[in-house]
Amino acid sequence: MRTPIFVVTLFILLISTSSCEYNRYSYLLDDFIVESISRYEESFKERSDSTYNGIFLVGYKTIPIPPAEQEEFMVKYCLYEDDYRKESNLYYSPDGSFLRVYFPMHTAIASVNGKNFFADENGYIEMPFSKSNNLRIKIVGRLMSDVVRGTGTNKIKNGQIKLKNNLNAIRVVDNMFFFDTGERLYSYGSPCCPSGRTIIKSSSEPSSCEEDKVSCYQNHNNMNCSIAFNINEGRCEFDSIVCMDYNGYHTDCINGKLSNFPGSDCYMAMKRGHCWNEIKY
């Protein structure tokens, strides 16, 4: 039985007057978004176990929500808002235009006042810290492992993955330093990458496609994130030759919809800090 159109319309109107109403109308409030991010990062610090006498390195990846999906994503977010808010690593922009995933800079190599230090899997570096230290910190790379091998934009030497360009801290909250690791575009079969997100084994031939140069498959030793990091959130039939970035919370198992990403295998790998060196610039 098909649902009458007026019922669907009424449902959307009800959603728009819920606690998520600001998502629909605040897209012009740039300052509001900046303030929202600041509050989120401060709460992220408060929720983290960052009371140690050292520094924490935290990265984030920005994922633009395609305009055609913004309405659907907003409705889904409002329907299951409690579930999404439990994901403390996920930030949803008040204007509904992008997501951010925050994660520890897993095994990062950081230059601190000109000397290299190695972070652990939680992005933690043990060292004396105080707000008066005036630390100059930049991320120069990360340690290589069996399942983190680097991408076409990285330089590999002596078991270390060096970034094409160093990352400087965007913001500091007490002993937590935040780094922008760029955008991850979420489009199926873009003109640049006609293969979409279907996994293609790395080729020795140079690629003109920027997305191919930062292949997660290449980075994880020719495995998708699910296999590389033993992640299986279920919900959808498993496919080893695609990125399982669509088996998230309340998914309809359609590959290529961003609303299916939060809670997926790929999301879990990203939020644990396994993928952050996949940077185009």
List strand residue ranges (DSSP E) for 65-216, in order.
90-92, 98-104, 108-112, 115-118, 124-126, 137-143, 155-157, 160-168, 171-173, 176-183
Q: At what angle do helices 67-79 and 5-16 cross, to 10 degrees?
A: 80
Rg (C-alpha) for the chain, rounded Å, is 20
DSSP-H helix ranges across the chain: 5-16, 22-25, 30-47, 67-79, 81-85, 210-213, 216-219, 225-228, 265-271
DSSP annotation of 195 reads T
* pLDDT tens digits along 47-82: 876 567 789 999 999 989 989 999 999 999 888 888
Pairing of strands 98-104, 54-64: antiparallel
Asked whether the predicted pLDDT for residue 26 surpasses 60, the reply is: no
Task: Please choose, from the candidates 281, 89, 271, 254, the residue with its C-alpha nearest in 3D space to the C-alpha of residue 186.
Answer: 254
Letter for the amino acid at 13? L
Which of 6-10, 27-31, 275-279 is least confident?
6-10
Query: Which tokens go with 276?
Result: 């952050």
The three-state secondary structure class of 27 is: coil
* pLDDT tens digits along 155-177: 888 889 999 899 999 999 888 99
Write down the pTM of the prediction.
0.80
